[in-house]
Amino acid sequence: MSEEEVSYFRRALLGWAAQTPRPMPWKGEKDPYKIWLSEVILQQTRVEQGMPYYEKFVKAYPDSRALAGAPEDEVLKMWEGLGYYSRARNLLQTARHIAFDRNGVFPDKYGDIRSLKGVGDYTAAAIASFAFNLPYPVVDGNVYRVLSRYFALDAATDLSSSKKMFASLAGKLLDPDRPGAFNQAIMDFGALCCTPAQPDCGNCPLSQRCLALVKGTPADYPVRLKKTAKKERFFLFLIVRRGDKTLVRKRTGKDIWKGLYEFPNIETGSTAELSETDIKAIFPEGTPKGVLLGEPSDFCRQTLTHREITAVFRELVVPENSPANFIRDGIFSNCIETDLAELKKKFAFPVIISGFLKKFV
Ligand code: SF4
């Protein structure tokens, strides 16, 4: 790519950004803590959805020390609804590292920023360029789309070899004098002009030299390998009711819902009907006297990166004065009893459960 081509791209993009305001609460922010917070929230989250969470976090935890002192349950509760909870756990771990091991000072070198837990290439480049004006290009879905269209690149963006090529291309185009402004401009441009569906090519500052437009095929870019089918899983959650109490359990396994709460549950077949094996999994000693199993709820669904989760909720009504020994063992083990009215206030649940609770309690 010639100097002239690079300079045309930079000029067109930065000129467009100067005339296209896109206000966001973290824009122009120089505090690396707040930039990091916004970038972690925006990983896998739309800007509109992330904004209120950012405001809420900044208000509750204005710096790394404030966040470091928060209990994990409180942070997870505040994160509730954003999904991908490993982000919240990493956020807390990193805040504690900065507050206690680094005396509250956020790292200011790319390598040190990149080594923070939960910070990948993209987030490190965003923090380094926005907070410290360091010349590292951001490469996210927006950048893949803009570059693959502009240069009509057929390389599949989900191949690691292509990722390197895109990163190198973005690095050549990056304006070393204004890396933060350039990174912000290319992200805004991808979000507002060169959008996934129906890009605004008629008003595009790059249209004169955009090769996908010349070919008449912007919609063909970016190229991706075929997606693998998502695995489906089905769960039955039991809302055990004894008077106005119920049971919840904290998840401890190493999965994306670690640290969140759940109701006792079993993995079932694909329908709301329970098989004999399901019943046995709930009550290995036979259905206890006086216990009533309520009707199944409507199906609740959640789509994760590699999974489609379908859940059904059923009440399990236990007589208030029964000893109900069974709720200490099997699928009920490690549960704690809590007031039904406290559920939504006190515990952070995976989206599939909190979504159901909005209608239930
Ligand atoms: S001309 Fe269209 S496809 Fe090409 S960069 Fe601009 S908006 Fe994207």
Domain extents in the chain: 3-220, 231-360
Model confidence pLDDT, tens digit, residues 25-53: 888 899 999 999 999 999 888 888 999 99
Q: How far is CA 171 from CA 12, 96, 166, 210, 220, in A?
A: 17, 32, 8, 19, 24
pLDDT beneath 50, residues of the chain: none
Q: How far is CA 201 from the centre of its chain?
A: 30
What is the CATH T-level fold of the domain 231-360, as seen in this structure? Nucleoside Triphosphate Pyrophosphohydrolase (3.90.79)
Taking phi over 0 as left and psi of -120 to 50 as alpha, with beta for the rest, 140 belongs to beta
User: CA 95, CA 89: separation in Å to the nearest integer?
Assistant: 10
302 near 353, Cβ under 8 Å? no
The rounded percent of the chain whose pLDDT value lies above 70 is 97
- Tokens, residue 86: 């490993």
Model confidence pLDDT, tens digit, residues 133-148: 999 999 998 999 999 9
Ligand 1 within 6 A of 205 CB?
Answer: no
User: CA 157, CA 22: separation in Å to the nearest integer?
Assistant: 27
Rounded to two decimals, what is the model's pTM? Answer: 0.76
The pLDDT score that the predictor gives to residue 72 is 93
User: CA 220, CA 133: separation in Å to the nearest integer?
Assistant: 34
Ligand 1 within 6 A of 76 CB?
Answer: no
Question: Would you call 39 a catalytic residue per the annotation?
Answer: yes
The pLDDT score that the predictor gives to residue 228 is 66
C-alpha 203 to ligand 1 mean position (Å): 9
The pLDDT score that the predictor gives to residue 305 is 74
C-alpha 253 to ligand 1 mean position (Å): 45
Ligand 1 within 6 A of 133 CB?
Answer: no
Q: Kindly report the CATH class assigned to 3-220.
A: mainly alpha
C-alpha 142 to ligand 1 mean position (Å): 12
The pLDDT score that the predictor gives to residue 323 is 64
DSSP state of 242: B
The pLDDT score that the predictor gives to residue 213 is 93
Which of 5, 39, 273, 315 is flagged as catalytic? Answer: 39
The pLDDT score that the predictor gives to residue 178 is 96
